[in-house]
A and B are shown apart, each in its own frame.
Chain A
Amino acid sequence: MNGIRTKLRIDAIFKTIVFFFTIVSVVALAAILIFTLLKAIPLFQEVNLIDFITSDVWSPSTNQFGIASFIVASVLTTILACLIGIPIGLYTAIFISEIAPKKIASLVLFAVEILASIPSVIYGFFGLTVMVPLVQQLFNIRSGTTLFTASIILALMILPTVVSLSTSALKAVPKTIDEGSLALGATKMQTILKTKIPYAKSGILTSCLLGLGRALGETMAVMLVAGNANMMPQLFPISEAYLSSGRTLTGNIIMELAYASGIHEAALFATGVVLFIFVCIINIVILRVKKRGVAHS
């Protein structure tokens, strides 16, 4: 009898501990959110949100705060990074889970995981010393610090996320699906492309969206190679935009926070709030995709 009571007590204590630690993580999020919002409020007493998002004049010395050009730069780099990084990541995942012999597959996976653990400042430094001069010579432009360079570095950085999550999504496809497809006379490639990938769709999509989130939020590496020019990228032709210097939302915050005070500081926190909204949107989409995936299977 006594034994059962003790067990129940331990059970209750364990539940409390779990609950406590859960609260800690939720409170951490709430604290960050509240702190950022509070710090941003002074800005919105002088500039309204719509102007803040749609104006492309950012001039702290004359109290003009508009982040449109930074939003555009963030979106441009994120899109190109995904366009380059996702196909590479996806094909690597197919190679690892379907094609490669076990030994080689684990070797590739190991390499990709190493890629994930390299600090972003190293990516940035690599970008600045190797990619920047390369881009400059390749396109014969005045400076290699461009949104294009930033996109390439970002594509490398989102690879691990896309590869490892897509690999597990593909590996989770039941053997029976494989066998059924092969039994019907489909080739290996047809099986992978037409049955396995559609089956693992939601997992793969989630990996891409997480990669997208990483690209949007990356700061240090981007700041080092993007040039951080305070101007609206020229969108027509689009190559002009990518081959010029630009500043992302994250870059803007880290760039000026050190010396900012008063309303300038508030504007940087407000930039953070806008970034937070973007990240929330991506996460909501991820949740939707996951739910649909569950419903599907």
Chain B
Amino acid sequence: MDFIDSPTEAAFRTEIKDWLNENLKGDFAELGGRGGPADEHGWDIRIEWEKLLGKDRWLGLTWPVEYGGRNASFSEQIIFSEEYALANAPARVSFFGEGLFAPTLLAYGTDEQKRRFLPKIQSVEELWCQGYSEPDAGSDLANVKTKGALDGDQWVVNGQKVWTTLAHRAQWCFCITRTDPDSQGHQGLSYLLIPMDQPGVEVRPLVQMTGTAEFNEVFFADARTDATNVLGAVGDGWKVAMATLGFERGTAFLSQQLAFARELEEIIALAQANEVAADPVIRQELADSYVGVQIMKYNGLRMLTSLVKSGVLGPEASIGKLYWSNWHRTLGERAMRVMGSAATLIEPTKGDGPSIGQESGPRAYDLNELQRIFMFSRSETIYAGSSEIQRNIIGERVLGLPREPK
């Protein structure tokens, strides 16, 4: 065990620290690290910032050098995340492209596909969204019905996706599609890459309980994509889709831990400012949240070490999603208690005007940061495999318990 930087790691830390010092100024610094990979707070500024990161290859950190990356080690990824969070730099907008699609592309794509898509992710010219869930395929994801059929040198796609995060911002969608019409379940699926900007794709925002609309419905009506835009073999889409979920459930959340720690700091500061920090129950809750967020880091570091050593994710990886989503949900509830009566009001200073999805309204339903955590975290125990699905996975694949009879 060793948590102290080696000389190479220390040099890398200095490099990112200096870069952030030099570049994190003006609007970028003012925006700070608020928001998350699935929300739109300060979007335009974040896009500009992301481009800056891409230009200097901080986006694509882990990619091989030949594809424009830095081939960073896990330690370097951790250092980057730590320094990034420490500097309170803007929340990343490339989560679906850099965090989910790119690792899948690197694992299953052809050289040609990698050269086509990776540079545009890095230059932030192309953002991605994830076409997985459908009205009848939520937890039972293998029940997808969106159809893909070859018509000459193009795929023609018909069907509907739902809960598609930031689809309205994305240029491309990686999409689980049933390409064998006679198949069912895990068989006969393909992982298609579909351009969003075309007549056959319609994106309709879903207004959430937060009053905002990061999630969408996506309708495909004779949408088209080139026949070459399939990742992995035709009919082998389930395997590729699961690999993406592995990234989502495995390593991609690590940088979140630092953002969470910052949120907790803000809640503690508020508790001290409004004097509820003297309340013994609140103290217990804040200390418990601190314990939880620290262990989130330790779990992540253990997981990464075992990944580096053995090449296989240990049981720590499968608990990650279940762990952080529950921790964050509890934090949101505690934040409301710390706010006290103020939690029951929407701040009037945050601007007037109708809420999203409403033609008119008395006032914008504009949540403050803590209210946003409280509400948005309800989605986190549902998306990317609900907590119940995570427990099934842990029970069956890690502990070897028998499956439910069918």
Answer whether A and B are interacting partners: no
A-side residues, CB < 8 A to B, are none
B-side residues, CB < 8 A to A, are none
